[in-house]
């Protein structure tokens, strides 16, 4: 069966890939800073997109938020009415890094569909592969934490599903089959 789609030149593919990388990392930093602020962590880590070394542990404040005692709760979080609310916000809050990663992948898929309109899965896989390479270069070692790989894989799945569905329904709704021939 012959390929019926129009071939895309390398310059367009490269510009779309660079735009997708810019979208991905811009979203990562924006979502990461909002999550850091929402969970009231002391300092924003500029290496948040590349941090695979933060392992899940109750004692790790970057993973579960900051643990405070009942006396500290009254001092640090005066807007909260009870210790139970303080305990929930500080001790049981989800991983800021994990939440940032998943939200970034979720939103990136939607924005990738707006940029590339087709083959979102291809750009999602390429951006994720480049992210793993850049992460290895920044952290000077290859990621071996299985939780990070699991989060990365589930985020990639979210990105592909969201992006492909948005691209499919947008092309179908706007009757752009000639401009979006292959998904």
Say if CB 50 and CB 135 are below 8 A apart: yes
Q: In terms of DSSP H, where are the helices of the chain? A: 10-38, 61-64, 70-76, 83-91, 96-116, 120-139, 146-173
Rounded CA-CA distance 94/88 in Å is 10
Rounded CA-CA distance 163/81 in Å is 41
164 pLDDT band, cuts 50/70/90, is very high
**What pLDDT is stored for residue 61 in this prediction?**
47
pLDDT digits (tens, 9 = 90+) for 44-53: 777 777 777 6
Q: What is the reported pTM?
A: 0.71
Mean pLDDT of 79-108: 64
pLDDT digits (tens, 9 = 90+) for 7-51: 678 898 899 999 999 999 999 999 988 888 887 777 777 777 777
Residue 111: partners with Cβ closer than 8 Å, 6 or more residues away = 23, 27
Half-sphere exposure of 60 (CA within 13 A, CB side): 11
């Amino acid at each position: 069966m012959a390929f019926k789609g129009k071939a895309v030149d390398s310059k367009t593919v490269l510009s779309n890939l660079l735009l997708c990388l810019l979208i991905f990392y811009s979203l990562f930093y924006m979502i990461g800073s909002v999550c850091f602020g929402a969970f009231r962590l002391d300092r924003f880590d500029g290496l948040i997109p590349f941090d695979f070394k933060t392992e899940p542990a109750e004692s790790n404040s970057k993973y579960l938020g900051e643990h405070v005692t009942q006396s500290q709760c009254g001092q640090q979080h005066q807007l909260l009415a009870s210790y139970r609310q303080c305990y929930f916000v500080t001790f049981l809050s989800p991983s800021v890094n994990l939440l940032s990663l998943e939200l970034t992948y979720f939103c990136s898929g939607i924005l990738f569909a707006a940029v590339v309109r087709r083959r979102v899965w291809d750009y999602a896989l390429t951006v994720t592969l480049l992210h793993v390479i850049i992460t290895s270069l920044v952290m000077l070692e290859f990621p071996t934490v299985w939780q990070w790989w699991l989060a990365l894989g589930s985020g990639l799945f979210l990105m592909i599903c969201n992006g492909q569905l948005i691209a499919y329904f947008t092309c179908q709704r706007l009757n752009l089959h000639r401009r979006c021939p292959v998904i």
